[in-house]
């Protein structure tokens, strides 16, 4: 069976994701589509709007064949590490190709850009240092440094968020010496950070979440998501009483900041250059997470980078836990599969070298402790007994199966 991989968060699964799935399957001529999906907390430092189980079900009911979890250690990370962990898992699962959305839509621009940056790496890195010393953010420094090389339009625009991720995916593939073919498709209609509905059928996940939380209008998103997504969002809110957002975790983050020393906060992953003093100082004044972020954000520290810091502080994730000898994922956490996906696993299981976790309670490994800790913190948004119910799923929930009666 021929398989292709996609790297996703599905926060939530929307019509743009459905387009990406269909185009990935068509362009790769794959029989099976495998999704590596972030778990409870996401790459931009946010809690997922609903649990990984609900998002897995959205994906499976929309056509994805296999969903595996990207561990916390790689999910809540800068683009390079996020990409390395994701591509490694797709390669371990035997994918012949992987496909990502981009503003470019042309895979040649990615390979040309990687080649030219390797040839000009010294000048490129010097440019980055120069711009970083001027006080701008790392992503802005990357973009300006690349433009300063004066390479022309045939190369990649590294100021665009999906181009940046795609660049890191292809770079990770090359680093791993993987034989997977890299494919890309153009993003359709909505841009990554668009907050408004500019199309009749496709909107960004950002715009969809904004309508849900800011406008309190779930019905407004109905035309932008598959029916499976709409039903799962409605069902999750009915069962658990909420949808997850940062404000529900603000009291816990504020408590952590106000009861910890500067030295303790500085031990948390991604807290650098003395920013712990600013975090603690502004936590005393802030009345909400939004207020806190607006007070803390600077030209040098992007909103996304600060949010990731906040997730690591919230989960008490130390630098020593994230920077160890294990550069790659050590296991495959299976979240769900279709009948087609199940057949693929049966066909491939002898050639997959990583242990496959079907049920966490049956797996003993120190590497999953960060995932367990993240699940515990994620459940804090709920009240008992719903909190306990959600947390129990982390250990007791078998992979969701579509096309077969669920266990």
Is 8 a known ligand-binding residue? Answer: yes
Does the annotation place 403 within a ligand binding site?
Answer: no
Structure tokens at 368: 């999953």
Q: Tell me how many degrees the CA angle 335-17-303 measures, rounded to the nearest 5.
A: 90
Asked if residue 255 belongs to a known ligand binding site, the reply is no
Phi, psi dihedral angles at 47 (to 5 degrees): -75, 140
Is there a binding annotation on residue 13?
Answer: yes
Contact 329, 88 (CB under 8 A): yes
Tell me: is residue 14 an annotated ligand-binding position.
Answer: yes
Contact 67, 56 (CB under 8 A): yes
Tell me: is residue 262 an annotated ligand-binding position: no
Instruction: Check: CB of residue 42 under 8 Å from CB of residue 48.
Output: yes
Q: Residue 20, annotated ligand binder?
A: yes
> Is 10 annotated in some ligand binding site?
yes
Is 398 known to sit in a ligand binding site?
no
Residue 294 among known ligand-binding residues? no
Secondary structure class of 337 (helix, strand, coil): strand
Tell me whether residue 12 is annotated as binding. yes
336 annotated as a binding-site residue: no
Asked whether the beta carbons of 288 and 247 are under 8 A apart, the reply is: yes
Binding site annotation covers 17? Answer: yes
Find out whether 15 is annotated in a ligand binding site: yes
Rounded to an integer, what distance in angstroms lies between the CA atom of residue 402 and that of residue 183? 27
Contacts with 27 (C-beta within 8 Å, 6 or more apart), sequence order? 99, 183, 185
Distance CA 349, CA 303 (A): 41
- In this structure, are residues 137 and 120 in contact, taking their beta carbons and an 8 Å threshold? no
Residue 47 is labelled as binding a ligand: no
- Residue owning tokens 């802030």: 286
Residues comprising the binding site for ATP?
7-20, 101, 162, 187
Residues comprising the binding site?
7-20, 101, 162, 187
């Amino acid at each position: 069976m021929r398989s292709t991989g996609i790297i996703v968060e599905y926060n939530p699964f929307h019509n743009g994701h459905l387009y990406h799935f269909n185009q990935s399957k068509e362009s790769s001529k794959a029989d099976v589509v495998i999704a590596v999906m972030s778990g409870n907390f996401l790459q931009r430092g946010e809690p997922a709007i609903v649990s990984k189980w609900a998002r897995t079900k959205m994906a499976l009911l929309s056509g994805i064949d296999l969903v595996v979890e990207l561990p916390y250690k790689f999910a809540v990370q800068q683009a390079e590490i996020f990409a390395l962990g994701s591509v490694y898992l797709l390669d371990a699962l035997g994918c012949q190709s992987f496909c990502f959305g981009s503003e470019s839509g042309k895979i040649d621009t990615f390979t040309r850009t990687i080649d030219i940056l390797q040839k000009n790496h010294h000048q490129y890195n010097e440019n980055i240092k120069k711009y970083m010393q001027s006080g701008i953010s790392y992503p802005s420094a990357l973009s300006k440094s690349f433009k300063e090389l004066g390479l022309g339009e045939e190369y990649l625009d590294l100021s665009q968020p999906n181009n940046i991720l795609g660049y890191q995916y292809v770079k990770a593939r090359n680093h791993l010496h993987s034989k997977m073919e890299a494919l890309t498709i153009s993003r359709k209609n909505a841009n990554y950070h668009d907050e408004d509905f500019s199309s009749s059928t496709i909107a960004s996940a950002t715009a969809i979440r904004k309508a849900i939380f800011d406008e309190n209008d779930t019905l407004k998103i109905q035309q932008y998501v598959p029916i499976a997504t709409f039903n799962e969002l409605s069902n999750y809110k009915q069962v658990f009483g909420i949808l997850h957002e940062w404000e529900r975790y603000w009291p816990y983050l504020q408590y952590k900041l106000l009861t910890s020393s500067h030295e303790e906060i500085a031990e948390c992953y991604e807290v650098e250059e003395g920013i712990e003093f600013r975090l603690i100082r502004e936590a005393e004044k802030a009345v909400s997470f939004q207020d806190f972020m607006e007070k803390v954000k600077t030209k040098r520290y992007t909103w996304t980078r600060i949010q990731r810091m906040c997730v690591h502080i919230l989960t008490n994730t130390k630098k020593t836990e994230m920077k160890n000898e294990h550069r790659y994922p050590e296991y495959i956490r299976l979240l769900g599969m279709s009948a087609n996906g199940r057949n693929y696993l049966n066909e491939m299981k002898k050639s997959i070298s990583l242990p496959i976790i079907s049920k966490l309670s049956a797996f003993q490994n120190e590497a999953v402790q960060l995932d367990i800790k993240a699940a515990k913190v994620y459940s804090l948004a709920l009240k008992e007994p719903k909190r306990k119910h959600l947390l129990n799923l982390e250990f007791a929930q078998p992979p969701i199966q579509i096309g077969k009666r669920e266990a």
